Chains A and B, each alone.
Chain A
Amino acid sequence: MSILADKNTRLLVQGMGRMGQFHAGLSVEYGTQVVGGVHPGRGGSAIDGIPIFDTVAGAVAETGADASVIFVPPPGAADAILEAADAGLSLAVCITEGIPALDMLRAKAALADTGMRLVGPNCPGVVTPEQCRIGIMPAQITRPGPVGVVSRSGTLTYEAVDQLSRLGIGQSTCLGIGGDPVIGTNFIDALELFEADPDTKAVVMIGEIGGSAEEEAAEFVKAKMSKPVAAFIAGQNAPPGKRMGHAGAIIAGGKGRASDKIAALEAAGVAVASSPAEIGSTLVEAAPELGA
C-alpha cells in the first residue's frame, strides 16, 4: 500500500515539451504505466512510443488513464489543471513553477466541485518506491518501506529521503506538495492519507517559512494522528520580508516565522529536527522501532 499512486496508476503527461518528454521517459524506465501524452495539435502521433492526444478527454477515452502529470508552461497551466478535472481524472500532479497566484486561486475554487485531487503546483511530484514515479524526483534514492514523506520543497525532500535511505529506512510514498502560496494538496490532506494508509508507520514532514500550513498541520497531528511524526522547518535564518526562492516562502507582517511553526509542532508532540542534517535521526527518535 501507499498513497496517491501505485503500480496500477495509469498516467498521462500533459505538455510533452522537452521537460515533459524527458521525465516521461524516466518514469517509464522506473516502471510507471505512462499510457499517453497530451499535446494539442499533435494528436495521433507518438513520442518515444507514447501515444499523443489532442485533449485530455480524448486520451482518457482511449487509454483509461486515471492520473496526469502537468508540465504545461505557466500561462496555460491552470487551464491544463481544469482540463484534467473535466476529463474525470482522480489525480493531477502539477510540476509547473511560476503560475500566477490568481490563476491558481480561481482553479482551486473550481476544483472544489470536482472529484479530482491536485498535487502542486511548483512541486517535484509523487514517488511510491518501486511502483510509480510521477513528476521529476530522482526515484533511485528512494526505497520501499514504512515512512511517508511530505514536503513543501523539492531538493530538501531528496535530502530527507536520502537520510532515511542511508539509515536503512524505506518510504511508503514521497510527496512534494509545492512551494506556492496556493496549492492543491496541503500538509493536512497528506497527513490524513498517511494516517489512513496501513503500510505507513510514521511520517516525515518538511515545512518552511511563510503562511501557516505547518501550524494547521500541527493541530491536525495533535487531534487526529496516531502515527509518530518527525519534522524539519527550513528558513530558521531567513530575513523577514524577503521571498526565499519559493513564491510562498516569505515572512510577512510577523507571520510565517520558523520559530512559531516549530513551537506549534513541538506542542503537538511532533519531533522537530534542530538541523537539516538530523531529519533521518529525528525520525528514528520519534519511531525507534523503525531504526535499523
Chain B
Amino acid sequence: MNVHEYQAKELLRRYGVAVPEGQLATTPAEAEAAARALGSDVVVVKAQVHAGGRGKGGGIKLAKSAAEAKQAASEILGMTLVTHQTGPEGKLVRSVYVEAGSAIARELYLAVVLDRATEKLAVIASTEGGMEIEEVAAKTPEKILTESVDPNHGLQSFQARKLGFGLGLDAEQVKRFDAFLAGLYRLFVEKDCSLAEINPLVVSEDGEILALDCKLNFDDSALYRNADVREFYDPEEEDARESAAKELDLAYVGLNGSIGCMVNGAGLAMATLDMITVCGGSPANFLDCGGGVDKDKVTAAFKLILQDENVKAILVNIFGGIVRCDLIAEGVVAGAEEVGLAVPLVVRLQGTNAEEGRKILAESDLSIVAAETLREAGEKAVSAVGSAS
C-alpha cells in the first residue's frame, strides 16, 4: 500500500524523524491560511498524489507570500498531473501540502529496503540526492553506500556512523543523522514498510538534517496489525477496478487489451496473459480468483471484467486441483446468466472432474466455447475477438 507524502511525514514525526513544518490544504483559501500559519519566508506548495516526478509535471511550486501560496494552490488543485509514474492519463490533484521552505546546503539520498537478494534489510545512502537511485546505481555505483542489517539484531549505531561519515557529514551532523536513521529504521520495522525512501534528505544551511520528500510503501500482508497505516488508505488513488477487486478478495490488474481473463492461481494467470499474447491477442486484465471459485465469485469477477468496455471476449482458465471442475462449471453458467453475458465466453476446465464440467457447459443455454488445452484456450479466445468485432 502507498500513502501520500503528507501522511508519510506525519508518520516520520511520530517516530522523531525531522521533517519541515507543513499543513494539508484542499482549497486555495486553506493553502493561504496554511502559508500564513507557517510564518516562513518561503513555502512550497506540493500536489498530493501517489506518484513521483511531481516537480517536473508542474505539481510543486514555490511561493514567497501567503497570496502566492493561494495562487499556486489554485493552479495545482484540480489539475491532472502527468508524471513518468502516472501514465499518460495522469492523476487528478485533490489536495496540496503547504510546507515551510528550507535553506538547503546539501541534497542526499537515504532509504531502507527489504533486500530480497540477501534476505536482510538494507540501508542505502548516496550523495546524489534528488536523482532516481536506479539512475545513480547505473551511472555512478561507487556513489551508493549500503549497510546490510540483520533483522533479528537490528540497525547498529556504528552502521549509521559509517554511512554518515561516508556521506561527508561532520561529527555534529553525524549525530543528527544517527538519530534520524534510527527513527526511520524503527518506523520501517514497527509499521512493516517494504520501502522507506527519503529523497532528498537535506542538510540545511544551519546543519539540520531534514526529510524534504518521503515515500513510504507498506506490506499489504501486515496491514492487519497496523491500523494507523490502514487509515491512510486512499481509494481515490487506486485504479477503480483494482480497488473494487480488492474488496472482493480478487487479485486484479487492469491492462489495455480486449480479452478479459479469469484464472485460478497467480502463476497460471500470468501464463494465460502470455498464452493470449503468443496467440496474437491482447489481454484486458490479470485476474486471479484464488482457490475457491463459486457462483458468487464468478459473478463478481464477470461484473468486474465487464466494467472495462474494451473487453470483446472473456477467457476463463481454471486448473481444478482440489476444486472440482463440475462445481466451477455450475458457477460459470450461473454467473454468466446473472450478468447476462453478451460477449463470447471461452472456458477451459482442466483437472479434477473436467469431463463433467465440460458437459455442464455444453448442456447450458449459453453459447460457451469449450477448450481443453492452454493453447486451444488462447487460440479460441483470440478468434472469438476477431469474430466479435
Contacts and interface: CB of A to CB of B under 8 A. Distances in A.
Contacts of A157: 267
Interface stretch (A60-68, A94-102, A187-195): A94-102
A138 B219 contact: no
Most interface-central of A26, A75, A153, A232 (chain B CB within 10 A)? A153
A159 B278 contact: no
Interface residues of B, number: 54
Given A157-B267, A158-B351, A162-B350, A105 B321 contact: no
Contacts of B220: 247
A247 B351 contact: no
A114 interface: no
B267 A152 contact: yes
B222 A100 contact: yes
B183 interface: no
A277 B267 CA distance: 13
Contacts of A124: 321
B222 A101 contact: yes
A182 B116 contact: yes
B382 to A, nearest CB: 13
B181 to A, nearest CB: 18
A154 interface: yes
B362 interface: no
Contacts of A154: 265-268, 321
A208 B286 CA distance: 14
Given A26-B322, A156-B265, A212-B117, A109 B277 contact: no
Interface residues of A, number: 62
Interface of A is mostly: loop
B350 A110 contact: no
B286 A245 contact: yes
B151 A156 contact: no
A85 to B, nearest CB: 14
B351 A182 contact: no
Given A101-B194, A156-B271, A237-B283, A108 B119 contact: yes
A151 interface: yes
Contact of B120 (A105, A136, A242, A245): A105
A103 B190 CA distance: 11
A247 to B, nearest CB: 6
A28 interface: no
B91 to A, nearest CB: 14
Most interface-central of B85, B121, B189, B321 (chain A CB within 10 A)? B321
Given A102-B222, A244-B266, 19 more contacts: A101-B219, A102-B192, A105-B151, A106-B151, A108-B119, A155-B264, A155-B267, A156-B270, A162-B319, A181-B116, A211-B116, A237-B273, A238-B286, A244-B251, A244-B270, A247-B221, A248-B116, A276-B275, A277-B374
Interface of B: 85, 114, 116-117, 119-121, 133-134, 150-152, 189, 192, 194, 219-222, 224-225, 251, 253, 255, 263-278, 283, 286, 288, 319-322, 350-352, 373-375, 378
13 contacts: A74-B221, A101-B221, A102-B151, A102-B189, A108-B119, A141-B351, A236-B277, A241-B85, A244-B266, A245-B286, A274-B278, A276-B274, A277-B374
Interface of A: 22-23, 26, 74-75, 98-103, 105-106, 108-110, 124, 136-138, 140-141, 151-159, 162, 179, 181-182, 206, 208-209, 211-212, 232, 234-239, 241-249, 253-254, 274-277
